[in-house]
Amino acid sequence: MPRRFAWATVLCLIASTGLADKPAPLTDTNAFRTAYGLSYFGFDLCGDAANGTLYRKALAEKVDHCPFTPEAKAGFRQWAAGTDAKGADQVKRYIAEHDKLPESLDPKRKNCRTEKDTPAYQKTIALLEQYAKGTAKYDAVVPDACDTKAGAF
């Protein structure tokens, strides 16, 4: 009889250790919201709306696979849908008002052509092509940790 209790105790300890190591669900999607919103400036305003759409799809898929609470995921999806409606309109409005795409991406003071020539941009485009073909997953495109804080991208 004592052996049976010893095994039960060991099993309880193993089970409780597994539960104790499990991280709490995440609630802060601000870093992903920032990256999502900025993608309109990094892709769409530079004439690359197709890759912008792919990047945002991968980013949304990343959020869906991260251990965010259901409320945080739902909030992100709702926010992203609103941002998509506004972002596309802002790009169209800019082009309508200026009859061209911008010559620079203000905060970075980089020309779109210069930005597209950077190794980081080229790597992202290559990963997006693989993602579109199904040969790369969302986490290859958006490798950042689920608990990344805003400003870390």
5-15 pLDDT tens trace = 443 333 333 44
Contact between residue 56 and residue 79 where contact means Cβ atoms under 8 Å apart: no
The per-residue pLDDT for 6 is 42
pLDDT tens column, 133-143: 999 999 999 99
Mean pLDDT of 87-95: 73
So what's the pLDDT on residue 103? 60
Buried b (16+ CB within 10 A) or exposed e, 1-38: eeeeeeeeeeeeeeeeeeeeeeeeebeebebbbbbbee
Q: What is the pLDDT of residues 75-84, one digit of tens each?
A: 999 999 999 9
